[in-house]
Amino acid sequence: MASDDWRLQIDFRDDGVADALHDRLDARELEHDLSAAFHDRVIVSRNGTTLFLYAGDQQQAEKARGLVEQLTTEDEEEVSIDFKRWHSLSQEWEPADKPLPEDAAAEAAEHQVRIAKERRETEEQGYPQYEAQVELPSMDEAGEFADRYRSEGLPTVQRWRVVLVGAADEDAARALADRIRAEAPAGSKVGVAASLREAEDDLPRPFAFLGGLGG
């Protein structure tokens, strides 16, 4: 997700109210109002009694918020609206009025907050947040490679010619990938990714485009 993304989180009292507003936001009869309000698509996602609206800039997000407030006022519904902006270095949704880091020191500080969070979550959840991945030329080489890293106490999984080595955070995974590149046989393919379990936890809910508008 790009660093200039904005999100509205709208919390309702029950599923029925959330479902009704979701349908209204996605309804064809609103297309004229939405096309006047947005240049690009706004993505709508629902999770139970909560709706999420994702916009590409602050102006889009503000207009989306105005539309939601208009519709909920018309329906006399009480809702809670939380307005946030994505910070790519910390990988967190932060309050919309919190500025992005403006210099190297601020960027480094925000990155370290993210790394500390990943390490804490690894410890609390009991599984690695990230993994270094390597595909080796043969299954035998993969087995030997996995045994070597497993003997060091590193969480390691082998499937056919692929070996996954867990890491507590992204920085640790990248350092591990650098080591693997230096040690793996020629022709091996090395990469870094969020662990499968972590990726499954972060999968987005089904979403729609607000008003069905083209970009």
Report the CATH number of the 128-194 domain.
3.30.70.270
CA distance 151 to 148: 5
Phi, psi torsion values for 165, nearest 5 degrees:
-120, 120
CA 84 to chain CA centroid, nearest Å: 14
CB 189 within 8 A of CB 3: no
Please determine whether the domains at 6-100+202-212 and 128-194 fall in the same fold group of CATH: yes
Backbone region of residue 25 per phi and psi (left: phi > 0; alpha: psi in -120 to 50; beta: other values): alpha
Tokens 């994702």 locate to 54
| Confidence at 82, pLDDT banded by 50, 70, 90 | very high
Tell me the pLDDT tens digit for each residue of 190-212: 999 988 664 444 434 444 444 43
Q: Looking at the predicted structure, is the pLDDT value of residue 215 above 60?
A: no
Give the distance, in angstroms, between the CA of residue 35 and the centroid of all CA atoms in the same chain. 27
Q: What is the C-alpha to C-alpha distance for residues 208 and 25, in angstroms, rounded to an integer?
A: 9
Lowest mean pLDDT among 36-45, 70-79, 156-165: 36-45
Architecture of domain 6-100+202-212: 2-Layer Sandwich (3.30)
Region of 135 (left: φ > 0; alpha: ψ -120 to 50; beta: rest) is beta
Distance from C-alpha of 128 to C-alpha of 199, rounded to nearest angstrom: 11
Q: Which of 13-27, 79-93, 120-134 has the lowest mean pLDDT?
A: 13-27
| Residues 102-139 pLDDT 10s | 888 888 888 888 899 888 988 898 889 899 999 999 99
Domains of the chain, by residue range, sit at: 6-100+202-212, 128-194
**Any long-range contacts for 80-85 (C-beta under 8 Å, 24+ apart)?**
80/10, 80/11, 81/8, 81/9, 81/10, 81/11, 82/8, 82/9, 82/10, 82/11, 83/6, 83/7, 83/8, 84/6, 84/7, 84/9, 85/5, 85/6, 85/7, 85/58
Q: Are 171 and 115 in contact (CB under 8 A)?
A: yes
- pTM comes to 0.58
Digit-coded pLDDT (tens) for 158-194: 999 999 999 999 999 999 999 999 999 999 999 999 8
pLDDT of residue 77: 78
